[in-house]
Amino acid sequence: MILLRSLAFHTAFYLWTTVLSLAGLPVLVMGRQKVLVFAKFWTGSSVWLLEKICKTRIVWRGLENLPRGACIIASKHQSALETLALSTKGADFSFILKRELMAVPVWGWYLKGTGQVAIDRAKRGEALPDLTRQVREAIAQGRQMIIFPEGTRKPAGAPPKYKSGVGYLYTDAGAVCVPVALNTGLYWPRRSLSIHPGTVTIAFLEPIAPGLDRLGFLQLLESRIEAATAALIAEALAADPSLKRARARWDSAIS
């Protein structure tokens, strides 16, 4: 039943995305704010489809920690789910993503239209000055920058590996940083079609004020996210014994 529901969701998601992408083309010439509203409608409706078809719903915690103005949102990354869900809560969001996505027909037009921040990963360290400039400009415009400090999705419970880039962005932009913990990987693992029913938790943690040095910030960010994420994973496993069998399979993939 889980697999059938998951396949139904993926089918509905891609069909809905295709319909919206084509129907929304006129919005692309209406300005960034209109495109942003349209994009949030897409992500919000996709999360709604997930809940209705797969019976996987999101509980949000710590929303009072999320400012409406400019900030950096540094999130744990376990699943495709938070990529969709986080944008539904940001008032004026921008993701940091790889530049290649901007070249994808239709999809890339929407990324440009919403003012997403692109990084040329082929340039490695040379790309950092351009990235910090873009983030600094976005923060000055009042946007909420969403970044995944580990750079890629990692299985729930995998050893953390935070990259230094988020530290440079934090010190350069001089903005408050809101850490995000979650347990999405228990329900929608990376590289998996199967989506487990249940209650996913995404938590906005206590913000980190600007002014720390880069190393001190990175240590604090990792400790807060990892401790809270471990607690959310333990909470979910205790509440739903069926997740433990799936967790055993994922643990073997980690090792």
Burial class (CB in 10 A: 0-12, 13-18, 19+), 215: exposed
Nearest alpha-carbon partner for 87 in 105, 120, 111: 111
Q: For residue 247, what pLDDT is reported?
A: 56
Query: Is the Cβ–Cβ distance between 99 and 118 less than 8 Å?
Result: yes
Tokens found for residue 50: 């997930």
The predicted pLDDT at position 251 comes to 53
- Residues 6 or more apart whose CB falls under 8 angstroms from that of 43 comprise 84, 85, 87, 88
What pLDDT, in 10s, does the model give residues 157-198? 889 999 888 999 999 888 999 999 999 999 998 888 889 999
> Under DSSP, is residue 114 helix (H, G, I), strand (E, B) or coil?
coil
The DSSP code sequence of 118-183 is EE-GGGGGGGHHHHHHHHHHHHHTT-EEEE-TTSS---TTPPP---THHHHHHHHHT--EEEEEE-
Token pair in block for residue 213: 């040095």
Instruction: Please give the pLDDT value at position 133.
Output: 86
Residues of the chain with pLDDT under 50: 253-255
| pLDDT computed for residue 245 by the predictor | 64
Contact 221, 149 (CB under 8 A): yes
pLDDT of residue 255: 45
Give the per-residue pLDDT at 124: 61
DSSP string, 13-46: HHHHHHHHHHHTGGGGGS-HHHHHHHHHHHHHHH
Strand 198-204 relative to strand 56-61: parallel, antiparallel, unpaired?
parallel
